[in-house]
Structure 1
């Protein structure tokens, strides 16, 4: 295990942690930077699953008091039962559509050029949505009803297309459906827990034959880097969205996507096309 591999693991772990809960697509960033760094073999697929797990565990830790309260009260507390029900309803669209289309999407669309295109399109969608005037009717997750959760869940399902951004789809969808910015961001984080745990378990099961003890140091470095970066990103993002729009993220997506496509078109980088 050389230092170069550990450095790549550290870098990708930080990228995953910073981008998982921002509306910029963590999967898209991992595909692009993994391709750029030449880390796109079979082992890298398992590595990306591991660091995504670290990011979601960071959210669980950050919201541990709420989650423990729900877990201990779900048998008797109506509020806890209602919260769990909202997560189940919001999770269902991605679960059903993921089982139906996950393999095909992964085979056809998981490449830097598709990601770059989705980043640009998504950036313009965010700019268009931010021009609208919003009058939120829901200012806390506990005020949501099951139709609200279902609609956000369908928005989340759009993120099966790499480069779309799970958090971006759920947050912007939440705004359209009447959630305040902070509520949309928080529900996006909570909804990520069952969604990403299910996706991680499914991917790890499929990749079980590619797990090797020799990869543990690389996985450990990436896991820790992702966990720490995600902890910082979640706290910072919640503060940011309370008082700012997502326009800065929209322009970041557009510029980043254009750079990837331009380097491909000019022959500066030999991006993978499949």
Structure 2
């Protein structure tokens, strides 16, 4: 992977990770257009650069993450991440197979787009306006909703925000809790990919993620640069999203997903992108 390719994918990750448009789906499309989506390091890279996006949340909400007097906050995140950890562990191979399918992304972008068009009207009477009002049981349910994002194109952010709103959270509180939940979820996914998961090394053998990462200076450089770029872009994207959400809700993200899904289907149909 070249530095240019790493920067492009990292920009896509930073822009889309916390928006309800599916970062995984966009990275699959980006790597397909670059012609590197079948490479093992690309698949690892698309998970590993989530570290940069995680740090953007921690930096923006650092007071929340170092408030050790409020243990309930950490317990909620711990409980909410359990469903994703269990399903991710049990169905890792099936999830990996889906990650190679731009057609899956196109379909889920379209379906999710139509849902976002109506989501604001579906949940108009929130009862929870602060994170501390979220119960442990509601946190677990939101975490279960997040598991829908294991299907590429669904969007972890969209699934957890919709789950939050279904649990009576206001739009802003649901969005912020989605950001908070991203930290343990993405940290676990990255740790699993780097330390525990076996990847093909291109010569018929298998390597752990960190071994594949350290196998060449190009991989290391791509990893470092990618995480820095993803961190900076994610900082800007989070600030934009909260302000935009307050003014406009989810409708415009729905329109975007529908248009993006149609364009992707056209690219697949014309052979510009191969499934």
Q: What TM-score does the superposition give when structure 2 sets the normalisation length?
A: 0.90
Instruction: Measure, in 1, the Cα distance between the counterparts of 2:28 and 2:121.
Output: 30
1:212-231 Cα offsets, whole Å, 9 max, x none, are 24122222221111110001
Q: What TM-score does the superposition give when structure 1 sets the normalisation length?
A: 0.90
Q: 1:54 — aligned with what?
A: 52
Instruction: Measure, in 2, the Cα distance between the counterparts of 1:144 and 1:253.
Output: 29
Instruction: Measure, in 1, the Cα distance between the counterparts of 2:100 and 2:110.
Output: 16
Instruction: Measure, in 2, the Cα distance between the counterparts of 1:23 and 1:108.
Output: 19
Change (3 A) 1:19 1:135: same
Instruction: Measure, in 1, the Cα distance between the counterparts of 2:77 and 2:151.
Output: 21
Name structure 1 gaps, 5 residues minimum: 74-79
Q: 1:21 — aligned with what?
A: 18
Deviation, structure 1 residue 209: 3.2
Deviation, structure 1 residue 107: 1.6
Q: 1:248 — aligned with what?
A: 252
Instruction: Measure, in 2, the Cα distance between the counterparts of 1:127 and 1:234.
Output: 21
Q: Is the 8 A contact 2:98 2:104 kept in 1?
A: no
Deviation, structure 1 residue 133: 4.6
Instruction: Measure, in 1, the Cα distance between the counterparts of 2:57 and 2:99.
Output: 28
Tell whether 2:66 aligns with 1:68: yes
Deviation, structure 1 residue 153: 0.8
Tell whether 2:36 aligns with 1:39: yes
Q: 1:270 — aligned with what?
A: 273
Instruction: Measure, in 2, the Cα distance between the counterparts of 1:165 and 1:120.
Output: 12
Question: How many residues get paired?
Answer: 260
Tell whether 2:230 aligns with 1:226: yes
Instruction: Measure, in 2, the Cα distance between the counterparts of 1:105 and 1:46.
Output: 13
Name structure 2 gaps, 5 residues minimum: 198-208
